[in-house]
């Protein structure tokens, strides 16, 4: 900030005027209609606007959005000298304000190097600034606002076609820049662009006149900053009140407005004096348990009132509920599972205590723990039912419905799979593990039974009278007996294995045994001879040295031959 802007700031502060400095980034304004359009846009977006004011005007006018009855402070400031003049007024019922500018009692702005801009500040904190437009002798001239960095300025004269125009550039102290002489010719419509040999800086102002002096001089200031609108705000030292009725609680709300120009009257109101009271100075005192609000209201600016939420709880109820809830869980910690002794009655008792808690945050926390306990109890009850069903299904696989015995003859893979499905529904890890062991036992026994049945088939295949297994088949060989014996020996110890080993021994005995040959009684007129002999063996029957019959013994050990005549 340059020294003259500092002078302005000091002067404004001394008179309690909050004014924003004008920026150079305002849009070009070539006609009064365009200016009024711009003001309308500003009025809608900034909250306060100033109408165009020209040297020689006697009224300063503007509008405050929603500002009926609001105090407005007008500052008229000359940047170069750091001086200002202050006028105070109030907006009417429509938010419009008017200040009569009496040139006989107030400094009179001239074309340049005097008072250069006007500020308007509302008590709600909104502020705006406008240039003071120059006055002309003959015909109006509109100067497009120049801004920092510009090297060209545009003018439009209402009644000066095809005429020569001069211009000069001065710094903020009123010193003419060397080489800053400007000149150009207006076109048929009075427009002219004058080229500046260097970029404009903060605080520079420009002076123009026609070559024939018919328009007099017109000045325009170049400012550094854009007008800003600081809306009124209110701050409080607290945003909420949370207290415990069992502990005495009191305090004071400190409220302040962002603008010293605003009406400082603030009221404090409790929505529920049975919970909390507050006096006119903002001092509050807790009375009872419950919820309430304290409204902090700037009486002249209620739109920025604040509501402070109040929550008063009773620690006695909270502590009782906390103890009851914690007692539901192992090691009295809700982080763990519920105790084995926790039942529906215990949960109901804890719920009743939680219902009595008034602290909404703590109540929500405790309620989540009660819900957790209830869910775990529900799951436990459901699991007990699943366990009962699973136990019945598993036991039914075994003789006498007892896993200490082998599986039943009727137990098959389908029965085991059905029992497994029921075991899978058991949640209790220990019970699930024990039942799974019994399922695995049944599976192993069923698999062993299948192997045993296969071995039995191999052994039975050796005999012609299976399952009696007392007569070997004619086709049985020692290799077949040995193969069946190896299968039997591979079986785990069991009564079936012992029995099969006995049958293998029988097969070996029968295979190594030679049956004695016998002949049934013969008569002199017999035509056949019969008897018993080694199965499948050849027999020759003689009467002395004469062969009377021969043949092969049947596989059952019997023979019947015709006698040769």
Residue 30: Cβ within 10 Å count: 14
At residue 370, the pLDDT reads 96
Residue 181 included in any domain? yes
The answer to whether the beta carbons of residues 236 and 259 sit under 8 Å apart is no
At residue 20, the pLDDT reads 25
At residue 5, the pLDDT reads 31
Cα–Cα distances in Å, from 56 out to 51, 218, 280, 298?
14, 13, 49, 39
Residue 346 included in any domain? yes
Q: What angle do CA 145, 123, 271 make, to 5 degrees?
A: 140
Q: Are residues 158 and 29 in the same domain?
A: yes
Q: Are residues 478 and 531 in the same domain?
A: no
Residue 34 included in any domain? yes
Q: How far apart are the first and last CA of the chain?
A: 157
Q: Are residues 336 and 434 in the same domain?
A: no
Q: Are residues 519 and 507 in the same domain?
A: no
At residue 400, the pLDDT reads 95
Question: pLDDT tens digits, residue range 299-311?
Answer: 888 888 999 999 9
Residue 340 included in any domain? yes
What b/e string do you get for 168-183 counting C-beta neighbours within 10 Å, with b at 16 or more? Answer: bbbbbeeeebeebebe
What residues form DSSP beta bridges with 311? 242, 291
Residue 226 included in any domain? no
Q: Are residues 428 and 521 in the same domain?
A: no
Cα–Cα distances in Å, from 223 out to 127, 172, 198, 220, 432?
16, 10, 16, 10, 85
Q: Are residues 47 and 58 in the same domain?
A: yes
At residue 1, the pLDDT reads 33
Tokens read off for 526: 């017999």
Residue 477 included in any domain? yes
Q: Are residues 450 and 506 in the same domain?
A: yes
Domain that holds residue 20: 3-221
Residues 6+ positions from 457 with CB-CB distance below 8 Å: none
Residue 227 included in any domain? no
The domain total for the chain is: 5
d(CA 384, CA 406): 27
Q: Alpha-carbon Rg of the chain, whole angstroms?
A: 58
Q: Are residues 357 and 405 in the same domain?
A: no
In the block, tokens 């100033």 appear at 50
Q: Are residues 519 and 493 in the same domain?
A: no
Of 493, 512, 531, the position where a domain reaches its end is 512
Secondary structure in 3-state letters for 250-310: EEECCEEECCCCCCCCEEEEECCCCCEEECCCCEEEECCCEEEEEEEEECCCHHHCEEEEE
Q: Are residues 468 and 539 in the same domain?
A: no
Tokens read off for 274: 């049975």
At residue 241, the pLDDT reads 95
Task: Identify which of 9, 37, 42 has the alpha carbon closest to the alpha carbon of residue 224.
Answer: 9
d(CA 555, CA 565): 27
d(CA 464, CA 21): 124
In the sheet where 83-90 sits, what is the strand order? 53-54, 127-133, 117-122, 71-78, 83-90
User: Helix, strand, or coil here: 323?
Assistant: helix
At residue 247, the pLDDT reads 82
Residue 329 included in any domain? yes
d(CA 137, CA 111): 11
Q: Are residues 91 and 216 in the same domain?
A: yes
Residues of the chain below pLDDT 50: 1-46, 109-115, 137-138, 224-229
Segment (H or E) for 531: strand 528-532
């Amino acid at each position: 900030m340059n020294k003259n802007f500092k002078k302005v700031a000091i002067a404004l502060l001394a008179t309690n005027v909050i004014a924003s400095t004008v920026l150079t980034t305002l849009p070009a304004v070539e006609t009064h209609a365009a200016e009024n359009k711009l003001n309308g846009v500003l009025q809608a977006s900034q909250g306060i606007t100033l109408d165009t004011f020209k040297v020689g005007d006697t009224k300063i006018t503007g509008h405050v959005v929603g500002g009926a009855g609001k105090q407005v402070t007008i500052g008229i400031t000359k940047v170069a000298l750091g001086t200002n003049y202050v006028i105070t007024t109030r907006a009417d019922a429509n938010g419009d304000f008017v200040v009569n500018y009496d040139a006989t009692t107030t400094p009179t702005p001239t074309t340049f190097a005097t008072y250069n801009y006007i500020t308007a500040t509302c008590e709600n904190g909104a502020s705006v600034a406008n240039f003071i437009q120059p006055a002309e002798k003959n015909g109006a001239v509109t100067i497009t606002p120049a801004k920092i960095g510009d090297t060209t300025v545009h003018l439009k004269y209402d009644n000066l076609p095809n005429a020569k125009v001069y211009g000069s550039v001065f710094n903020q102290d009123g010193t003419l820049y060397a080489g800053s002489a400007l000149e150009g010719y207006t076109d048929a419509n009075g427009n002219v662009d004058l080229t500046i040999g260097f970029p404009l800086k903060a605080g520079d102002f420009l002076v123009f006149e026609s070559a024939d002096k018919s328009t007099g001089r017109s000045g325009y200031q170049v400012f550094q900053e854009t007008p800003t609108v600081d809306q009124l705000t209110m701050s409080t030292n607290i945003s909420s009140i949370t207290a415990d009725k069992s502990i005495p609680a009191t305090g004071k709300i400190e409220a302040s407005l962002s603008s010293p120009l605003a009406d400082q009257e603030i009221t404090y109101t409790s929505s529920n004096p049975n919970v909390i009271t507050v006096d006119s100075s903002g001092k509050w005192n807790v009375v009872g348990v419950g919820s309430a609000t304290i409204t902090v209201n700037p009486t002249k600016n209620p739109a920025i009132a604040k509501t402070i939420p109040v929550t008063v709880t009773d620690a006695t109820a909270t502590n009782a509920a906390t103890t009851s809830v914690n007692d539901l869980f192992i090691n009295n910690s809700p982080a763990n599972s519920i105790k084995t002794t926790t039942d529906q009655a215990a949960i109901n008792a804890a719920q009743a205590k939680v219902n009595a808690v008034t602290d909404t945050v703590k109540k929500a926390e405790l309620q989540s723990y009660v819900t957790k306990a209830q869910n775990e109890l529900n799951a436990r009850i459901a699991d007990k039912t699943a366990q009962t069903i699973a136990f019945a299904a598993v036991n039914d696989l075994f003789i006498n419905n007892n896993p200490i015995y082998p599986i039943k003859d009727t137990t098959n893979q389908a029965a085991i799979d059905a029992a497994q499905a029921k075991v899978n529904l058991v949640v209790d890890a220990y019970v699930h593990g024990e039942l799974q062991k019994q399922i695995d036992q049944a599976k192993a026994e069923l698999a062993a039974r299948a192997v045993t049945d296969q071995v039995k088939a191999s052994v039975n295949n050796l005999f012609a009278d299976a399952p009696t297994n007392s007569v070997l088949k004619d086709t049985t060989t020692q290799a077949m007996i040995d193969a069946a014996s190896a299968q039997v020996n591979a079986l785990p110890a069991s009564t079936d294995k012992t029995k099969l080993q006995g049958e293998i021994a029988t097969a070996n005995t029968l295979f190594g045994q030679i049956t004695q040959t016998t002949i049934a009684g013969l008569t002199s007129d017999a035509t056949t001879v019969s008897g018993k002999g080694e199965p499948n063996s050849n027999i020759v029957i003689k009467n002395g040295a004469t062969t009377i019959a021969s043949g092969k013994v049947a596989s059952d050990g019997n023979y019947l031959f015709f006698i040769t005549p």
